[in-house]
Amino acid sequence: MKCGELIHPRVIYGDTLVELGEKDENIVVCDADLSCSTQTICFARKYPNRFFNLGCAEQNLMGFSAGLALGGKTVFTSAFAMFGAGRAWEQIRNTIAYDRLNVKIVLTHAGLTVGKDGASHQITEDLALMRCIPGIKIYVPSDPIETKALIEAAYEYKGPVYVRLTREKLPVIYDEYPGDPDKPKVIVEGDDVVLYATGFMVQETIIAAEKLKEKGISASVVNVQTIKPLDVSEIVAHAKKTGCAVTCEEHSIFGGLGGAVSETLSEKYPVPVERIGVRDRFGKSGAAKDLMLAYNLSSDDIVAAAERSCERKKK
């Protein structure tokens, strides 16, 4: 993979499943009749006896996955995020998380950028839904290299994990994955404001940092790929360095990265925080790029938020 190359994270997911399945015969994969979209079809073709299609029945999908985990299997289970996290939330909470079962819930087509499928298939509430469940780990990869690393990390972790994947292609940011998958990654160093970003928004935030540099504002870009458990010490350290912050996510401003960072800083080191995300609105049909502009998720919106945060620091 070359820097800047655009690749679907779900393609990386499918390929990584095959690699993991080759080295561990205990892995099984479940899907809700969406294997071509989620790319679990790669595993299904290679290991048909370890693949289960539960049909368009996400609640049953989670219950079935829990049963396999109770039988000692390492389970990867996939669907669209709207239906996996939304429709099957109770089963994830009561059946998987409550018993700390070894189920990896890898949901694709998350966020606004599902695009033309519209509000019924877009979900900007899933991180909030998952964050409030005790004991579940949450990963949001920002590029193809990180997608592979986090799927592998989810496999190594013994317990429930939620991995959020976008439908859209992601540009390659990393040459190789830098260290601990649970620690935030500094992509750009800066002194005036810290831009915490996750998932699809990381690339947009890197662009925003370049625009801020042209305006004489030195911005750090910190990729927060592990939403839960949040690395509190790292979040606080960057806020102490810059004195103000912006959070950037393709998710509601309530309950996701913005909520997690704001909660942490309000308790540990209060600084001005501006949140870039979806503001109490449902999604709508449209091209991904147009939706990013319509919902104020562009690099220019991040720049404006950073300027506001810096101004608030001076008061």
* pLDDT tens digits, 93-104: 999 999 999 999
pLDDT in tens, 34-92: 999 999 999 999 999 999 999 999 999 999 999 999 999 999 999 999 999 999 999 99
| Residue 310, pLDDT score | 97
CA atoms within 13 A on the CB side of 154: 34
Are 77 and 65 in contact by the 8 Å Cβ rule? The answer is yes
With a CB cutoff of 8 Å and minimum separation 6, the contacts of 271 are: 239, 242, 243, 244, 245, 265, 313
pTM: 0.96
Summarize pLDDT for 231-270 with one digit per residue, the tens.
999 999 999 999 999 999 999 999 999 999 999 999 999 9
* Radius of gyration for the chain, computed over Cα atoms and rounded to the nearest angstrom: 19
Residue 164 has pLDDT above 80, yes or no: yes
Q: Does domain 185-314 have CATH number 3.40.47.10?
A: no
Q: What is the DSSP letter of 192?
A: S
Structural domain boundaries in the chain:
6-171, 185-314
**Residue 59 to residues 55, 83, 86, 165, Cα–Cα distance (Å):** 10, 9, 10, 20
Do 35 and 53 form a contact (C-beta atoms < 8 A)?
yes
pLDDT digits (tens, 9 = 90+) for 102-160: 999 999 999 999 888 889 999 999 999 999 999 999 999 999 999 999 999 999 999 99
CB atoms within 10 A of CB 217: 18
Largest pairwise CA distance in the chain: 64
Burial grade of 231 (CB within 10 A; 0-12, 13-18, 19 or more): middle
Mean residue pLDDT of the chain comes to 96
Q: Which CATH architecture has domain 6-171?
A: 3-Layer(aba) Sandwich (3.40)
pLDDT score at 117: 84
Domain pair 6-171 / 185-314, same fold: yes
As annotated, the active-site residues are 58
